[in-house]
Amino acid sequence: ISHLFDCFEIGSKFRIENGQVTFTNRWYDTIVNDIYNFYHREMNDSSYFMSGTYSKSNEQKVDMWRANMSDNSKVPDVPHVSWWQIGNEAIAMSETPIGVVVDPNTVEQKGFVKYNDDSFGTSGSDRFQVTNNPAHEHTEKDGTLWSAISIMEFVSQTRMTVKRVVYKVGADKVRHVVGTYEHGVADLAKCIPGHPYPDFGSRFGYVHSFALTEHYIIVPEAAYMFDPCVYTHYDQYKPYFPQAFKFENSGYSRLLVMRKSDGVFIANITMPPFFVTHQLGSYEEGNLIHMDMLTYNDSGIYDRHTYVDNLLSENPYTTNVTRITINMSDFTARMRNLRGDVKAPAAFEMSNINYAYNGKKYTYGYMIRNFDRREQNAVTKLNVDTGEELEFLLPEGMYAQEPQFIPRPNAKSEDDGVVLSQGVDGRKHKAFLIIVDAKTMTLIGHVTAPDIALLGIHNRFFPLHVGTRQPAPGGPDTVVG
């Protein structure tokens, strides 16, 4: 395995209940783990035996295990990018519309999530290709979950329509299409070997996360553009993303603005090329929409810095904590640095906010400084109005993962609560959980687990009733993540 995004998944959980913390670490019951067990969990023997996102595969092993990976009697693997909650189910997600239900109490996979729909009108037909479902959703107070997806339909042997669909789903497990943006038609007869598709207009931009406000969904399509010509030369033994996406320095990024009430896309705003990973908060202010997100000048955070060799060496990436403001009167947009111009460049990732303020005016974001870098990690609190930063600095050798804000019961202010972050203690070879006061960013608690956990991508904290038949409690949620 040569890239972070291709690592084998393990289920790790800290449970917090009545002042006690317990830890569970479990390999999921999947086909991938069965194959890995065949090799006695020795990567030197197994190599990478399936198609990768960025990692190179062993062609012989891919062919050897192809039938096993296609066996429908068991889940091949559990997606390990992000977590959703639909109804009372916790769902492990990647960037396809296929998720696996995981019981957060037992850390066991329960099979693919079963939707009660026709897959966005495609009915599973081979003439449709469904991809780039952002890993990160938005969930409203009533449990309605919003997401988006790209759909390509072959209308002839060489011509395909390309569109971006925004949908919502609730406890009914029906993915209701709310709005559709038509990118255009790609003609694969225009493909030239060794060159990407020539028309930017028919290429959707990669989306890992998007913005939600009271009245709008804003999809920031990066200049990391999908190449329809991948269908003319795709090599199953080579990693998918380098074949399917290319950052176009001479291209552009898009902001697709959809009205939630009727699904109408009211704007397609083009901007100079940038790359987006994660969101902070977004809100409306009069005739303006403010969206705060982590941006980069290119796609290096994916296609350079997160290769394993780079994670373990000097790995200097710089994050822009960016506010994009859309003027709804003329549909223009501008960008500015929320940290101000006097602070030294820094690497931040895995941003979160107090989710009670999602889609509303907010003040504070929480991030990990030097995420997945060997440099000293910190949990950082950013005041997006003033640029002020407070940090809890971890000791050298402790590597923090995504921070989660948990409000205090009956909280009186936005930062009245705690920030939880799990991670790996490289000194002790153990997992840890830290509890930080969100107002002062001082340490309240530090738990060392009896076992090591793997460096991951995202986590989530669920109320204890999720994954059970119990109804949501009337009082404050106890969390498990």
At 468 the pLDDT is 83
Q: What is the pLDDT of residues 426-458, one digit of tens each?
A: 999 999 999 999 999 999 999 999 999 888 789
At 471 the pLDDT is 61
At 476 the pLDDT is 38
At 479 the pLDDT is 40
Q: Is 195 annotated as a binding residue?
A: no
How far, in Å, CA of 109 to CA of 213, rounded? 33
| Spatial contact of 369 and 348, defined as CB atoms under 8 Å apart | yes
Query: Dihedral angle at the C-alpha atoms of 109, 115, 118, 122, nearest 10 degrees?
Result: -40
Tell me which residue has tokens 């002042």.
Answer: 19
Q: Is 40 annotated as a binding residue?
A: no
How far, in Å, CA of 431 to CA of 455, rounded? 9
CA distances (Å), origin 337, targets 146, 211, 299, 342: 27, 18, 19, 10
Q: How distant is the alpha carbon of residue 336 from its chain centre?
A: 23
3-state secondary structure at position 361: coil
At 474 the pLDDT is 47
Q: Is 136 annotated as a binding residue?
A: yes
Q: What are the residues facing 109 on neighbouring strands?
A: 102
Tell me which residue has tokens 């989710």.
Answer: 355
Number of residues assigned to the chain: 481
Contacts of range 330-338, beta carbons closer than 8 Å, 24 or more positions apart = 331/257, 331/266, 331/267, 331/269, 332/269, 333/255, 333/269, 333/271, 335/271, 335/274, 335/295, 338/292, 338/382, 338/384, 338/387
Q: What is the pLDDT of residues 165-194, one digit of tens each?
A: 999 999 999 999 999 999 999 999 999 999
Which residue ranges of the chain lie beneath pLDDT 50?
474-481
Helices (H), 52-164: 59-64, 66-69
